[in-house]
Structure 1
């Protein structure tokens, strides 16, 4: 059985998919009531699963009429993917940022689930078993080379 965080994430993604504006506004309290959980659970899902690295922009307004707006940020057109990869990765990249980029590419259907799994395995800190900052530099080089070869067809 899926946990409550997975259910909330899927519910929000479905709302985004059905939205004509490409964004949704929710109220934490209302969503918490719907899922019979505390508002902090909603905050947790939004802050961990709807990040910029994963392709989402989140805007929050607290207070009486407070809301959370989640907007999907589309990847650049295919001809500018190389630039986007270089800009996101740079000379070194932390594992969390790299995984976020892989997630974003998988969500945009630019890499398959299997390709994403292979990419994650290759950039994992246990795979690149060297000390920082060299590990982040190696991760950036590996990821950039693999993504460019996968995406430039």
Structure 2
């Protein structure tokens, strides 16, 4: 398992116990024997608003990182416009898979639906060059989000 994945799993385990966690970037870097910029990388790629997280960071001595898991009942309705706007510029495979994983974790889609959707958005399936591939993936994810928000399904 990669270092980034181990850090992600560790933070998600803490978030499973609490809705909000506060950590020291340097202390976390020491635990994983890495540089603080590795922690920043994990936060910026795996804990985004699009994936259902708010990250607040304060640098300097005594600085901290606060990560909050956005409650699903607030996430799609409160920031649907924001989510759509972020998707308009395209979604990487990693970003889209992160969103789908969150849908699965929240019980919004089944494991089977999760696996099918991951196959649908895969770069090999879409078989386009960039940036068209990321734009198509974003359109697919917008359709998934719309379907999840509809009450008549």
Pair in the same fold by TM > 0.5: yes
Shift of 1:71: 0.5
How far apart in 2 are the matches of 1:68 and 1:29? 10
Determine which of 30, 33, 40 is the counterpart of 2:30.
33
Q: Does 1:10 align with 2:27?
A: no
- Paired with 1:134 and 1:43, the residues of 2 have a C-alpha distance of 28
Corresponding residue of 1:70? 67
**Where does the alignment leave 5 or more consecutive residues of structure 2 unmatched?**
none
SS of the equivalent of 2:51 reads coil
Displacement of 1:55: 0.9
Secondary structure of 2:50 counterpart: coil
Describe how 1:3-152 pairs up with structure 2 within 5 A.
3-19=2-18, 22-76=19-73, 84=80, 88-89=83-84, 92=88, 94-96=90-92, 98-129=96-127, 139=137, 142-145=140-143, 148=147
Higher helix fraction: Structure 1 or Structure 2?
2
Contact 1:128 / 1:135 at 8 angstroms: preserved in 2?
Answer: yes
1:128-153 CA distance string (max 9 Å, x none): 3457787666545544555628x864
* CA positional deviation for 1:41: 1.7
Contact 1:92 1:139 survives alignment (8 Å): no
* 1:134–1:41 Cα change, 3 Å: closer
Any idea what SS the aligned residue of 1:75 has? Answer: coil
Number of aligned residues? 147
Q: Structure 1: give runs of 5+ residues left out of the alignment.
A: none
Larger CA Rg, structure 1 vs 2: 1
Question: Shift in Å at residue 36 of structure 1?
Answer: 1.9
TM-score (norm 2): 0.72
3-state SS, counterpart of residue 95 of structure 1: coil
